[in-house]
Amino acid sequence: DTEVTQTPKHLVMGMTNKKSLKCEQHMGHRAMYWYKQKAKKPPELMFVYSYEKLSINESVPSRFSPECPNSSLLNLHLHALQPEDSALYLCASSPEGATEAFFGQGTRLTVV
């Protein structure tokens, strides 16, 4: 299995909702990432987990809360989002210290 799987593919949520994005990989990678990508822009790093511990938080607002329950799963909990948070949220993984990062297909999030 050489895939990073993200669910759901699409999500529409209201500003008072609580939702979660999920990411799963079975490649044994110990580094996992969340990126945010706005239209026609490059992916921007949000969080990095290394060996299931949060190692980097790129000053992301607290309405985004990451969680790494085990070495194969990465969640992003969403609460009280704003319309400007609408974007494609990408999960990626890599063997730590390695070169290539493998990306999932992303979750297209719309906040209404």
Partner 1 sequence: GESVGLHLPTLSVQEGDNSIINCAYSNSASDYFIWYKQESGKGPQFIIDIRSNMDKRQGQRVTVLLNKTVKHLSLQIAATQPGDSAVYFCAEKGGSYIPTFGRGTSLIVHP
Residues in touch with partner 1 (CB under 8 A)? 4, 6, 31, 33, 40-45, 48, 56, 90, 92, 94, 96-106, 108
At its nearest, how many Å lie between partner 1 and the CB of residue 19?
A: 20
Cα separation, 101 vs 1, in Å, equals 15
At its nearest, how many Å lie between partner 1 and the CB of residue 52?
A: 16
At its nearest, how many Å lie between partner 1 and the CB of residue 49?
A: 11
109 class by beta-carbon count within 10 Å (0-12 exposed, 13-18 middle, 19+ buried): buried
